[in-house]
């Protein structure tokens, strides 16, 4: 339990660039108490685990509770945002160039009413997924034929939460919903992580209704 808790907290601290002091303050515990938990010196109460899970979920790093299970379910995914500077390392199959093209699209305030025509003009139509937000739902309205798995398993016209892997669908739904709800058309580079691997997704909101993502193969890192 201590090892699993240590791994779950450490990965989040690294992604958030936080210290244990931040977490301790966030859940109302002494830092020494957290260190004792991570050493296995003190037993962690279930209420404290729930507090940790809620604390990180509020920071978009949910799933801590699931990771403490002896055998995490296959459908569990979490998302970690990576700095956009990481794009400079994505050079396989023109990936870096594609991300830069899509990033520039966010600076183009003359985006046509049909986002698909703009993606086609950039040569990204078959590599990207276009989503439409309707109320609390995120629907895939275009799925490029060159999208790698597991993204290729989305169904056009369906809410992303109906993906064959509900854990991935729900995680992606939360991330895209937050992007479309933001007033900023800011691109994000997300690493989606499951107990069995990870993959990258570069996404950009075009408006309050549309967001486009460029799925990257799991080998891109």
Q: Over the stretch 10-35, which tens digit does the pLDDT of each residue have?
A: 888 887 889 999 999 999 999 999 99
Tell me the two tokens of residue 132. 């439409």
What DSSP assignment string belongs to 2-60?
HHHHHHHHHHHHHHHT--HHHHHHHHT--HHHHHHHHHTSSPPPHHHHHHHHHHHHHTT
CA–CA–CA angle 88, 144, 173 (5° rounding): 80
Q: What is the pLDDT of residues 192-217, one digit of tens each?
A: 988 777 889 999 998 888 999 999 86
pLDDT at 220 over 50: no
Highest mean predicted confidence (pLDDT) among 54-63, 86-95, 188-197, 203-212: 203-212
pLDDT band at 126 (very low <50, low <70, confident <90, very high): very high
Phi, psi of 142 (to 5 degrees): -150, 135
CA–CA–CA angle 171, 148, 74 (5° rounding): 45
Q: Is 118 helix (H, G, I), strand (E, B) or coil?
A: helix
Other C-beta atoms closer than 10 Å to the C-beta of 21 total 11
The model's pTM = 0.63
Could you report how far apart the first and last alpha carbons of the chain are, in Å? 30
Q: State mean pLDDT over 58-68.
A: 78
Contacts of 202 (CB under 8 A, 6+ apart): 87, 99, 102, 103, 187, 188, 189, 190, 213, 214, 216
Q: In the chain, what's the furthest Cα-to-Cα distance?
A: 60
The C-alpha atoms of residue 107 and residue 201 are separated, in whole angstroms, by 19
The C-alpha atoms of residue 164 and residue 50 are separated, in whole angstroms, by 28
Quick one: pLDDT at residue 92?
62
Q: How many CA atoms lie within 13 A of 187 on its CB side?
A: 22
pLDDT at 125 over 90: yes
Phi, psi of 131 (to 5 degrees): -115, 150
């Amino acid at each position: 339990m201590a090892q699993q808790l240590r791994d779950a907290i450490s990965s989040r601290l690294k992604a958030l660039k936080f210290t244990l002091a931040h977490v301790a303050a966030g859940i109302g515990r002494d830092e020494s108490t957290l260190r004792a938990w991570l050493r296995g010196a003190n037993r962690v109460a279930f209420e404290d685990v729930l507090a940790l899970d809620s604390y990180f979920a509020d920071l978009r790093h949910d799933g801590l509770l699931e990771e403490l299970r002896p055998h995490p379910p296959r459908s569990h995914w979490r998302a970690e945002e990576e700095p956009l500077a990481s794009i400079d390392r994505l050079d396989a199959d023109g990936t870096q160039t594609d991300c830069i093209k899509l990033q520039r699209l966010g600076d183009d305030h003359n985006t046509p009413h049909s986002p698909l025509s703009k993606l086609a003009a950039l040569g990204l139509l078959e590599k990207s997924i276009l989503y439409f937000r309707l109320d609390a739902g995120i629907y895939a309205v275009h799925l490029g034929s060159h999208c790698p798995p597991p993204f290729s398993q989305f169904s056009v016209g369906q809410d992303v939460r109906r993906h064959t892997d509900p854990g991935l669908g729900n995680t992606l739904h939360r991330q895209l919903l937050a992007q479309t709800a933001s007033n900023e058309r800011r691109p994000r580079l997300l690493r989606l992580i499951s107990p069995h691997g990870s993959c990258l997704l570069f996404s950009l909101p075009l408006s309050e209704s549309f967001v486009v993502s460029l799925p990257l193969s799991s080998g891109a890192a």
